[in-house]
Amino acid sequence: MEMNVSNNEEQLVAKKAGGLNPAFIIPILLLVGIGIYLFIFGNPSNFKDPEQFQGAMSVAFSDVESKKIEPPQGGIIGTIYKGGFIVPILITFMITVIVFSIERALVLGKASGKGNIDTFVLKIRSLLNQNKVDEALAECDSQEGSVGNVVKEGLTTYKALAHDTTLNKEQKMVALNKAIEEATTLEMPMLEKNMMILSTLGTVATLVALLGTVIGMIKAFAALGGGGGTPDAAALSTGISEALINTALGIGTSAIAIILYNYFTSKIDGLTYKIDEIAMSIQQSFAEFH
């Protein structure tokens, strides 16, 4: 019986080795975020009098003073650029949320297997009630999902124990339960991989945005007090604008990350519930027929 679990363990672990590697992907996304900030948001066409930048690919590479770099009325993209050095970090967070959310959606979609999972569960339970283990195994092969993988391991052990004469009924039930638990344990890392990234960004994005907000307000109050009674209105508005831009980007990123994290968590919980439901049916069937 132990051989059934170990034979499949290598395949299951190999499958979980796939997916995106955060240590490799996140630095790349940081470079992408910086590139978007410099060359898309910082494109001279997004600001007043683009000729003053003398053909520079980004206003960051021009010799124009910062206070002369102003977006036109209603220019959202240029306004975001003026949010300061925290903006590319927040852009990176947003891209990271999007990339890893797409990856989780694809992985969980594949884990759900082919066809309707509720129909699969009902069919397996019906076959088990008739003690048609071979037919149930065939259904698992055609399902090709995490639920099918766990059920197949349980049914393979079921067949092995049915012909075992060295163990009593109680020992067989313990062995069957252990095989299902081990198969479930091997499947869970694939389902939960990279979920921590979404959870972390849901919190960190707000904190980084708060840092940007504080920096912007510091600049605003510095402009208010540095004018000696006549505050620099342009510097004051720039500081307040920087603060609000960072706040908006951080809250938006955090909200999206939290919503997607909860959505994927509910999907994982649903798959886990289906596995537990069929596992109970396997044990009940074994107790009844063997």
pLDDT tens column, 138-165: 888 888 888 888 888 888 888 888 777 7
In order of 11, 70, 82, the CA distances from 76 in angstroms are 50, 11, 10
Q: For 207-227, write each residue's pLDDT tens digit.
A: 999 999 999 888 888 877 765
Q: How far apart are CA 233 and CA 186, in angstroms?
A: 61
Classify 70 as helix, strand or coil: coil
**Model confidence over 91-119: pLDDT tens digits?**
999 999 999 999 999 988 888 888 888 88
| pLDDT above 50: residue 17 | no
Predicted local distance difference test score (pLDDT) of residue 65: 82
How does the average pLDDT of the chain come out, rounded? 84
DSSP H stretches of helix in 144-232? 146-162, 169-192, 195-226
